[in-house]
């Protein structure tokens, strides 16, 4: 059989490395902030590692927003909003589900040995 004369730009998800990343269509809509103390802004290596983190998903217009908030100690916080198209959110959901599935399968195999 001859190779496909019009290969798709996206690899088949079943053939792609499950830890690969994918580019967001609107990277300008990704926002992050890091604060240290009550009013200072600091970027660089963390001095406190997060002891709590929350992940949330919400619709915003025709986009899906994935937010991560991390807290360290009393005042150290970090916040990321990644705004995705519905297709990108679906791809992320599929990657998460597939990764969790094979991790659970690996754990099951290790426990049965």
Instruction: Give 42-95 pLDDT, tens digit per residue.
Output: 555 555 567 788 889 999 999 999 988 887 776 677 888 899 999 999 999 999
* Domain residue ranges in the chain: 27-112
Residue 2 in this model has a pLDDT that exceeds 70: no
DSSP for residue 97: H
The closest alpha carbon to 70, from 49, 56, 50, belongs to: 50
pLDDT band at 23 (very low <50, low <70, confident <90, very high): confident
* Angle subtended at Cα 62 by Cα 61 and Cα 67, rounded to the nearest 5 degrees: 75
The closest alpha carbon to 35, from 20, 47, 23, 26, belongs to: 47
Query: In the predicted model, what is the mean pLDDT of the chain?
Result: 74
């Amino acid at each position: 059989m001859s190779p496909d004369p019009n290969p798709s730009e996206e690899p088949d998800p079943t053939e792609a490395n499950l830890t690969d990343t994918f580019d967001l269509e609107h990277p300008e809509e990704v926002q992050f902030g890091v604060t240290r103390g009550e009013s200072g802004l600091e970027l660089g290596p963390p001095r406190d590692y997060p002891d709590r983190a929350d992940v949330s998903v919400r619709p915003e217009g025709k986009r899906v927003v994935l937010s991560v908030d991390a807290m360290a100690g009393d005042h150290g916080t970090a916040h990321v909003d990644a705004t995705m198209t519905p297709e990108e959110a679906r791809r992320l959901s599929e990657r998460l589900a597939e990764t969790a599935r094979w991790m659970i399968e690996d754990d099951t195999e290790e426990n049965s040995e």
